[in-house]
Each structure stands twice: as C-alpha cells, then as structure tokens.
Amino acid sequence: MAVYTDVTESDLGAFLRDYPVGELLSYKGIAEGTENSNFLLHTGQGSFILTLYEKRVEKADLPFFLGLMDHLAGKGISCPLPVHRQDGGIIGTLAGRPAAIITFLEGMWPRRPTAAHCREVGRVLAAMHVAGADFPMTRPNALALDGWRDLWAASRERAEEVEPGLAREVDADFAVFEESWPASLPAGIIHADLFPDNVFFLGEKLSGLIDFYFACNDLLAYDLVTCLNAWCFEKDMSYNVTKGAALLAGYQSVRPLTDDEKQALPILARGSALRFMLTRLYDWLHGPDGDLVVKRDPAEYIRKMRFHRAIVSPQEYGLP
C-alpha cells in the first residue's frame, strides 16, 4: 500500500505533455506495491499507470526493467508497456523522482488462488522465461546469496526477537548453501517476485504480469520455486500438492525442466524462502514505525524454510 509522494496536477499535466496520452482527466494514488508510488491515470487515450520510483529502486536499473517489459510484450507476454515520449525516452522526472508511464492492464489478482490459477501462472512463467532468452540486457540478482548474506548480517543480532533459535537455523542454511547451491542450471531472465498480487486474471484466464522491478538474470528454476512458495501454501502453511502439481505441469507444458533442475528444487525452494524471510525480517527490524508501509511477518517464510528442509524427493512438490 503505497503513495509515498504526492504529485500536483499542474506538475503532472506538464510531465504528460511529452507523452502521447491525450489530456489528463484524473489521477488517483493506488494502494498497491510496497516499493514505489503508483497512480492510476485516466486520460483522453484511456487508462495508464504512473510510477514514481522511490529510493529502493536504482535509477540505473530502470532501462533494464522497462526495456524488459517492452521486449516481453513484443513477444506476446501480456505485461504493461512503457509509453514512449515523443523524443523516444521512457524515463522522466516528476516530483524529484524518476518516473514512467506504463499502460494499464485490466484484470484482478487472485486473493485465493486456485489450482487453475496456479497452472496458468506456471504456463506464463515458462513462456516469460522463453521470451526473455534473447533480451539483450542483463542485471545481476541483487538478492542472491551475497545479498542474503548482507541482509542477514544486518539482522542476525536481533533475529531471536522474532523467533527463538532462528539465528542458528539460518546460519546452518547458509553453510549448506555455500556448499551446495546449484551453479550450472539453466539461467536467464527471471521475474523474481511473481506473487499473486503481481498476476492479473479475468476469471481463470491470466490477463497479465506486472511489477518487473526485481527482474534479473538468475536460475530459471529459482523463479519457479519462488512461485511454488508464493502460490501453493495454504494460510495454515501447509503445502497444497494439487496446486503445486498444477503450477509445475503448467510450467512444463511450455518448458520442461531438466533432471538437474528437478533434483535442485528443494534447495532452490529453501533458498527462495530464506530470501523472502530475510527481506521481511530486515524490514520488520529496521522499517520505520508508523509509516504507510505494511510490514509483512517473516514468520510465514520461516515455516516455509522448515518445510523445504524436510523434503526428501522433488516429487513431493507434485512433479509427475
């Protein structure tokens, strides 16, 4: 939920004059996204999203994120399209922040994902991986093992405030990852944050993917297990193998996993759970109180880390 920066109508009107979107009719701050300020615009040409990039997004990364959306949309992946200014640029400045206009996607994110939603997400995730193969830019994953180490270093001392025993548990995970994190699996462009609120549906048909602001180059199967974590656990933290099987089947209907990828699913899933636990833990311990950021409880991902540690065979996720 987020509007960190308000915009005056005169500043916005002036900003929009460089874009082929027609006259500004209205704009509303929208309570979605936790990183940036987003506004839904109505103009003479339809609906658009205006994003002001707040401090967590590196301005230098914007050409990658926005260029990727352009690239994927050109390959038939439904995602927002950056609107180009008359001078060809897509990144401007508004209210002192980098800003961009992207097309508005109709659709609703599923508050209670079904197996049918999961199958669709798997299918489109694989299609995105295939479509990203010839995207010419690269961006390292800032939240890979090195990034996790930094987050952990900044939180370890107070980790016990959140969950007794957590420090030892996470230390042990890091030791395992140093030793056995898979290095040679198929890699490419990943979304890296494909949670339900970033996937829109009209009925059970996927209408688009949004929020590419964590996209980067990393293991494709790592993106897949992030989805398993985000889509296939119930509120009581039990893994729903029917949803897992649907997501994996949807994925493999477009891009079959290699045997090495299948064998690596448990450790990748455990790593991805650690990654989201760590950002939540960090925000929990360091985030400002009383501001507009909704702090997400790290406990959910502590449960998921434990689930994955107990996995013996990747078939337990629902692989055929």
Would you tell me which residues interact with its own copies (CB under 8 A)? 1-3, 6-10, 12, 24-32, 40, 42, 47, 104-112, 200-202, 289-292, 294
Nearer to its own copies, 26 or 315 (CB): 26
Nearer to its own copies, 172 or 294 (CB): 294
- Stated length of the chain: 320
∠ Cα 62 293 13 (to 5°): 50
- Calpha distance 285→119 (Å, rounded): 36
Check if the beta carbon of residue 3 is closer than 8 Å to that of residue 26: no
CB 202 → its own copies: shortest distance, Å? 7
First to last CA, the chain: 39
CB 53 → its own copies: shortest distance, Å? 17
CB 296 → its own copies: shortest distance, Å? 14
Nearer to its own copies, 2 or 265 (CB): 2
- Calpha distance 253→228 (Å, rounded): 16
CB 291 → its own copies: shortest distance, Å? 8
Nearer to its own copies, 55 or 112 (CB): 112
CB 273 → its own copies: shortest distance, Å? 24
Three-state secondary-structure class, residue 20: coil
CB 193 → its own copies: shortest distance, Å? 19
CB 5 → its own copies: shortest distance, Å? 11
Nearer to its own copies, 156 or 295 (CB): 295
Cβ atoms within 10 Å, residue 196:
18
- Calpha distance 166→164 (Å, rounded): 6
- Calpha distance 23→17 (Å, rounded): 8
Nearer to its own copies, 32 or 169 (CB): 32
Nearer to its own copies, 28 or 306 (CB): 28
- Calpha distance 125→265 (Å, rounded): 16
Q: In sequence order, which ranges of 157-258 are alpha helices (DSSP H)?
A: 159-162, 166-180, 220-231, 241-252
Which helix (DSSP H) or strand (DSSP E) does residue 70 occupy? helix 62-74
